[in-house]
Amino acid sequence: MTELLKNYVAGQWVAGDGEGVTLTDPVTGDALVRVSSQGLDLTHAFRFAREEGGAALRELTYAQRAARLAEIVKLLQAKRDDYYAIATANSGTTRNDSAVDIDGGIFTLSYYAKLGASLGDVHALRDGNAVSLSKDQSFSVQHVLTPTRGVALFINAFNFPSWGLWEKAAPALLSGVPVIIKPATATAWLTQRMVADVVDAGILPPGALSVICGSSAGLLDQIQAFDVVSFTGSAQTAATLRAHPAFVERGARLNVEADSLNSAILCADATPDTPAFELFIKEVVREMTVKSGQKCTAIRRAFVPEASLEAVLDALKAKLAKITVGNPRDDTVRMGSLVSREQYENVLAGIAALREEAVLAYDGSAVPLIDADATIAACVAPHLFVVNDPDSATLLHDVEVFGPVATVAPYRVAAAANDTLPEAHAVALARRGQGSLVASIYSNDDAHLGRLALELADSHGRVHAISPSVQQSQTGHGNVMPMSLHGGPGRAGGGEELGGLRALGFYHRRSAVQASSAAIDALTPNAHLPTA
């Protein structure tokens, strides 16, 4: 029988009861390890993290906590090869795709270590400047930020077992808030290994970082008023979480990153003979195939001018035909597998659903797999759809297929004689997604991109505006950079993560202190929370 991974709670490694759930290689079907959270004393685990881990973290200053993050970065970098091996076996990713998760997580952690060092040796932060409340200036108000005296519970998705951990844990630990991570069961191995390495190195105080592998049953029942929960997953599950008494009755904070039908818009000036057109084509293909399309930020809908539709489809099909699919251990493979056969079935069901109103422009079902058995491997080659009437379509704007699947649709270009942006129809179509994490726009005109970005900003957490002037420096539609906000309104969950030190706000409590100037001066050194 395969090894049963232990959970780390209350400062101890504890094996769950029963046989647990077996994690498998999504390409070969081989059993890897098992996980179980049955029988854990969750009340003790949360209390220990909240009281012991939280108290120990709050005794450290921001700069001291940042130094601990920097130590974790060095540790993880030294063990990257181990993590790559686990990712290939458990997630079916190529080395390049594994880097998005593993190196992306380490980079985010490193970024917050550097930012935290700039906050200095203080235990609280000022939010803005003091404002006088009296005519003689003797009585003032100062808003302050102090770490919440609770625990941060992270319920994560299967697609980013490394980045999903560290992009949340970095600002939480820097804030002085202990973390309990519940990774998605299917790919929990990498998360558990990373936590184990940090724990074994003794970098953090006991209770500061815990991991629970297996079922999430009972976790929310432990959440109290000053705890915070961050969830990444489906909108349906998010709706269930929001109704839990932890949030409805006890008032705990909840951050959600959910489904997102992200868009890419080819601007009217980006005709097939221009550089912006080629940038658009490259990005759509990249977003369809990186991590086999299993990214919450991937392009799902591509809106193009009616006159360019056929040229776009021809260009995309030509590039997709070059994508090799199969076992990521083979160096000739460009795209590995989905994370499981369950996800494989979900993607096939989504493709079947889209076929009800869309035409399949590129059918990946005929693509032969390299070094993989199609009856066992969770491999799905790219599928590209076209919807000729996006105004009448409904599934296009509602069904997210979490795999290498995207749909192209034409938009009407507005006449140049009026004040309306030529892409007004495309903006309206993008908004049909009811709130998204990101939209990308492609034009040869930088000034035009700026105007169009503001039209999309109200319904998107991030707008990625690309022209030839940034073709070498742009970070990619789907890459979530720690300097930028990650989250989105409406269907995307309404949450906010990252965005530099803005991320620390979720883990702090803001309070207004009304006092004499002398008392306010004694509150904390003049350390303000920057927005960088």
Q: Among all residues, which ones are annotated catalytic?
A: 257, 296
- The kind and range of the H/E element at 112 are helix 95-117
Comparing CA positions, the residue from 175, 187, 274 lying closest to residue 510 is: 175
Q: Among 253, 76, 239, 62, which residue's Cα sits nearest to residue 153?
A: 253
Tell me the residue type at 185: T
Q: Three-state SS across 202-247?
A: CCCCCCCEEECCCCCCCCHHHCCCCCEEEEECCHHHHHHHHCCHHH
Please answer whether residues 91 and 188 qualify as being in contact, where contact means their C-beta atoms are separated by less than 8 angstroms.
Answer: no
Token pair for 98: 């594994």
Token pair, residue 437, equals: 């994490």
Which residues have a Cβ under 8 Å from the Cβ of 234 and sit 6 or more positions away? 258, 259
Q: Residue written as tokens 């804030």?
A: 175
For 452, counting Cβ atoms within 10 Å of its Cβ (0-12 exposed, 13-18 middle, 19+ buried), the class is: buried
What is the rounded distance in angstroms from the CA atom of residue 280 to the CA atom of residue 406?
13
Contact in structure between 361 and 386 (CB atoms under 8 Å): yes
**DSSP SS3 for 506:** helix
Parallel, antiparallel or unpaired: strands 209-211 and 152-155: unpaired
Q: How many helices (H) and strands (E) would you count in the chain?
A: 15, 25
Whether 155 and 229 have beta carbons less than 8 Å apart is answered as yes
Residue 418 corresponds to which tokens in the numbers above? 């009026």
Nearest to 484, CA basis, from 507, 457, 508: 457
Chain CA centroid to CA 24, Å? 24
| CA pair distance 182, 169, nearest whole angstrom | 12
Residues 6 or more apart whose CB falls under 8 angstroms from that of 512 comprise 141, 142, 143, 144
The CB-based long-range contact list for 344-352 (8 Å cut-off, 24+ gap) reads 344/26, 344/378, 344/379, 344/380, 346/402, 346/403, 347/380, 347/401, 347/402, 347/403, 347/405, 348/380, 350/399, 350/400, 350/401, 350/402, 350/403, 350/405, 351/383, 351/401, 351/405
Q: What is residue 477's three-state secondary structure? A: coil
